[in-house]
Structure 1
Amino acid sequence: MRIMRAEQFGLKREVEYGTPEQNEAALRIVADVKAEGDAALLRYTEQHDRVKLDAASLRVTQQEIEAAYDQVDAAFLTAIREAAVNVRVFHEKQMRTSWMDLQQDGTLLGQIMRPLKRVGVYVPGGKAAYPSSVLMNVIPAQVAGVPEIVMVTPPATGGKAGIDPYILVAAAEAGVKEMYRVGGAQAIAALAYGTASIAPVDKICGPGNIYVALAKRAVFGAVDIDSIAGPSEIVVLADDSADPAYVAADLLSQAEHDEMASAILITPSQQLAEAVAAEVERQLSTLPRQEIARSSIDSYGAVLLVDSIEAGIDVVNQLAPEHLEVLTVDPMRLLGHIQNAGAIFLGPYSSEPVGDYFAGPNHIIPTNGTARFSSPVNVDDFLKKSSLIYYSKEALLANGDKIMTLARHEGLEGHARAIEIRLEKERG
C-alpha cells in the first residue's frame, strides 16, 4: 500500500461517466424500450442475461417468494428482520409533517408534504447480491408513505430465470409486493417509461453497474433518480491509538467491493502508516475477494501522512468521502470540525460494516466527493412538497403595489395587471 505525503496525493478523483461506447449502448437500450416496450425489454434480457422470458414470466410469483424462504438459513432471516427494525426506527425519526401559518391579516401560508405515488427500486445481481440494499431503499420509501414500491433485479444468467432467494426474502420482509426479474439499462427504461407489463414510476433508486448508472442519467427528468452512484470509498482518520489490524480490515472491507473502490488512511503517525500497510498485505493474502481488493488497493488505495490530526481533517473535508472512520483518542472532540462526509463512524467499535448492515442509518451514501452537497438516502427523498398560499383581501390591498413594482421591474406587465385589476375593484 502506497505511503505518501497528503500533498502528493491527487485529491480530485475523476468521475466515471462511461466510455462513448457504453453511453451509446445505454442510450440505445433506453430508446428501444421506450419505443417498443416489452418486446425490447425481453430482447435485451435474452441478449445480456442469456435468459429467454415472455411477458407473463417477468413478474415474480408469490410461490417463488414462498419457496425462497425455504432456501435461506434461519440465521440470515433473524438478522435481516432485526436489521429491518433498526433501519425503520432510524428513518421514522426523519419524518416531517405539513404545516400552516395563519397570520393576523388572514393570510394562510404553509407547506404540504405528500409521498411519491410509485417508486422503483433497482437491486443489482451481478458480481454480488446485496439484500441489505433492499432494506435501505425500500424502508425509507415506506416510512415516507409511498403506496407503490416495485423492485427490479436481474435474473440469473446462463438460461436460468431464478433470482437470488436472499434478495427475494429481504424484499418480502421489507414489504415489497411487486417484483420483476429484469435488470440492466432495460429495467431502468421500463421503470421510467413503462411497458405493458411494468407501470412507470415517479422515482428510481438503487445502485447498479455502469449501464444502469448511464440509463438512470438518461431518464432523469422523465423521472427522478436518487443519484449516479460511483465506486465505494472509505477514509480512516487515525492517530497512534488506532489498532493497525482494525484499520487494515476496515480499508479492505471497502476495497473488496470493486476494483475501482477507494480505501485511504490519513494519519500523522509514520509508525501507524507502516504497520497498517504491512497489515493490509497480511490480511489480503487470505481474503476470498483478494483479486478485486488487490486491484483496488494498488490503484486507488493510499496512506496519507499529515502533520497533525487537524491537518488530516482538512484533507478529509477536501475528499468528502462516502464513509469516514475516526479512530483517535477522542473522536467525539473532532466531530464538529468534520464538514464533508456521507457517514461518520466514531471509535474503534464503529466499523463501517456496522452501518452497512445493522445500525439503522442508510448505507446508500454520496460518492465521488458529492458529500460536499448531498446526503445519504433518507425519507425526504420520497416526499414532495407543495407550497400553500391563501392571501387575504387585506394582505393584497396592503402589498399589491409592491408586487406590481417588482413585476414591472422585470418587464412582466401581465403579472402587474393581474394584481392591478383586483386593486382597482377593491379600492373602487
Structure 2
Amino acid sequence: MKIITPEEIDAFKRTVDGGTEAQRSTVQSIISDVKERQDEAVLSYTKQLDGADLERLAVTEEEFAEARSQLDLNDVAILEEACANIRSFHQKQVRNSWFDTDQDGTMLGQKITPLDAVGVYVPGGTAAYPSSVFMNVMPAIVAGVERIVMVSPPSEEGTLPAGVLVAAEIAGVKEIYKAGGAQAVAALAYGTESILPVDKIVGPGNVYVALAKREVFGDVDIDMIAGPSEIVVLADDTAYPREIAADLLSQAEHDARSSSVLVTSSQELAERVASEVQHQLEDLPRKRIAEASVNDYGGIVVCDNLSQAIDVVNELAPEHLEVQTKEPFMLLGKIKHAGAIFLGRYSSEPIGDYFAGPNHVLPTSGTARFSSPLNVDDFVKKSSVIYYSKASYDKHADKIARFARLEGLEAHARAVEMRKESGEE
C-alpha cells in the first residue's frame, strides 16, 4: 500500500459515479423496453445478461423449501440471531405521530404513515448476500410497510443462493423475483404482468443498477446512489498491524474499486501495516479483486498527530470508520462525517456488516457529509396536520392575509379573509 501525507488525500476522495454516456444510454433503453414489453423484456434481459433461461420470474414455494434443505441448521440459527439483532436496533428508531393542542383549540401535529410498497434489490454476481436482505428489509418491516418485494439476479441455472432465500423467509419476505440489473429496477418502478409497481426502491447494485435507480427517481423514491465500499481505519501506535491489515482487506475483497485507507499518527504502524497487507493477500481466496483494490484505491496517510488525523477522516467522510486508538471514546465527539463508526479493537467492521444490528447500507463517496445509514425513517412519510379553531382564526387572519399580500398573492389573502366576510360559524 502506498504511504502518503495529508496533503495528498485527494487521491482517496470519491465522487458519486455518474457512469459513461454509453452506460446511461443502455440503461435508458432497457427501462424503455421493460415499460413496453414488461415480463417479456425482463425475461429476455435475464437470459441475455445473466445466462438464465427462465419460464417465470417469481420464486416458488418449492424453491424456498429446497433452499432450507441446503442450509446447515447452525447457519440458519446464526441468520435468525442476526435478524433479531437488526430488528431490535431498528425498533428503537420508530417515530410516533404527535399532536399539540393550544388552549384556544388549535391543533398542530405530524402524522407518520408507512409506505405502501417497497422494492428491495439484493445484489448477486460474485457473492451471495443474505446480510443485504436483512439490512434492507428489516427497517421496512419495522416501519410497517405492507408489501415488500425482493429482486435478485439468478445464476445461470436460474436459481438464487440458498442463504438469500432463507434470509428472506426469516425476515418475512414472500414476494421474490429472479431478476437483476436495470431491468429489475424498471420492473419495480413501472410494473409488469408479474410485478406490481412499488413506491420506493432500496438496495445496492452495480453501476447499471445505480444508473437505473437514478433514472426512475421521481416516479419512485430511492434510498441512495451507492458507490463501491469504503473503509478508513484511524489508528495510533497502540493498534495491532495484523488486525488493521485484515480489516482493510475485508473491504478490498468486495470490489476492485473498493477503497481501504489507514490514517495514522505512527510511521512505524504505517510501514508494518503496509507489509502485513501484502503478506495477507497471498492466500486470500479473492486475491485478484482485493489486490486490485489495494493497489488502485488503497493507501496509508501518515499524520503529525491524532488531531490532524481526525481532520483527514472528516474530510474523507468514509462509509465505514474504525477507531483503533488508546482512548477511542475520547475521539468520538470530534468525528463529524462517517456512515458507521466502530470503536475499539474488538469492533471490527464485519461485525456491523452481519450481526451487531445497525444498518450496513451506508452513504458512500463522501456523502456521509450530509446523509445517513438506511433507517426506519426511509420507509415512512410525514404529513403535517393543521386544525385552526375559530378563536385562533379570528386572532391571526388579518396577519396571514397581510403576509400573503406581502408576497403579491391576492387570492391567498382573500381565501383567508373569506371566512371573516361570510360571517358563518
Q: How far off its partner does 1:415 sit?
A: 0.7
Q: How far off its partner does 1:35 sit?
A: 2.1
TM-score computed with the length of structure 2 as normaliser: 0.98
**Structure 2: distance between partners of 1:138 and 1:218:** 23
Q: 1:272-291 counterparts in 2 under 5 A?
A: 272-291=269-288
The reply to whether residue 313 of structure 1 matches residue 310 of structure 2 is yes
Residues 47-102 of structure 1 show CA distances to partners (whole Å, capped at 9, x for unaligned) of 11222223xx2111111101110111222111101000100000000001000001
Q: 1:177-192 counterparts in 2 under 5 A?
A: 177-192=174-189
**Structure 2: distance between partners of 1:75 and 1:287:** 25
**Comparing 83-92 and 16-25, the one that deviates more:** 16-25
- Structure 1 residue aligned with 2:326: 329
**Structure 2: distance between partners of 1:15 and 1:196:** 33
Uncovered stretches (5+) of structure 2, i.e. residues with no partner: none
Q: Which of residues 188, 198, 214 in structure 2 aligns to 1:201? A: 198
**Structure 2: distance between partners of 1:284 and 1:406:** 67
- Structure 2 residue aligned with 1:221: 218
**Structure 2: distance between partners of 1:334 and 1:23:** 42
- Structure 2 residue aligned with 1:373: 370
The SS at the match of 1:272 is helix
Residues 24-66 of structure 1 show CA distances to partners (whole Å, capped at 9, x for unaligned) of 1011101111122112112211211222223xx2111111101
**Structure 2: distance between partners of 1:53 and 1:284:** 38
The SS at the match of 2:382 is strand
Q: CA 1:427/1:65 → structure 2, altered by over 3 Å: closer, same or farther?
A: closer
**Structure 1: distance between partners of 2:387 and 2:37:** 46
Q: 1:400-419 counterparts in 2 under 5 A?
A: 400-419=397-416
Q: How far off its partner does 1:427 sit?
A: 9.3
Contact 2:16 2:225 in 1 (8 A): no
The reply to whether residue 156 of structure 1 matches residue 155 of structure 2 is yes
**Structure 1: distance between partners of 2:423 and 2:7:** 68
- Structure 2 residue aligned with 1:292: 289
The reply to whether residue 8 of structure 1 matches residue 5 of structure 2 is no
- Structure 2 residue aligned with 1:239: 236
- Structure 1 residue aligned with 2:63: 64
**Structure 2: distance between partners of 1:51 and 1:142:** 31
**Runs ≥4 residues deviating over 6 A:** none
- Structure 2 residue aligned with 1:28: 29
The SS at the match of 1:163 is coil
**Structure 2: distance between partners of 1:425 and 1:366:** 54
Identity of aligned residues (%): 60
**Structure 2: distance between partners of 1:414 and 1:375:** 40
Q: What residue identity is the alignment partner of 1:384?
A: K
- Structure 2 residue aligned with 1:127: 126
**Structure 2: distance between partners of 1:45 and 1:67:** 22
**Structure 1: distance between partners of 2:148 and 2:416:** 44
The SS at the match of 1:374 is coil
Q: 1:244-255 counterparts in 2 under 5 A?
A: 244-255=241-252
Q: What residue identity is the alignment partner of 2:386?
A: I
Residues 179-228 of structure 1 show CA distances to partners (whole Å, capped at 9, x for unaligned) of 11111100000000001110000111111111111100000011011111
**Structure 1: distance between partners of 2:351 and 2:239:** 18
Q: How far off its partner does 1:410 sit?
A: 1.4
The SS at the match of 1:258 is coil
- Structure 2 residue aligned with 1:89: 88
RMSD: 1.2
Q: How far off its partner does 1:423 sit?
A: 1.9
The SS at the match of 1:13 is coil
TM-score computed with the length of structure 1 as normaliser: 0.97
- Alignment size in residue pairs: 424
Q: 1:258-277 counterparts in 2 under 5 A?
A: 258-277=255-274
- Structure 2 residue aligned with 1:137: 136
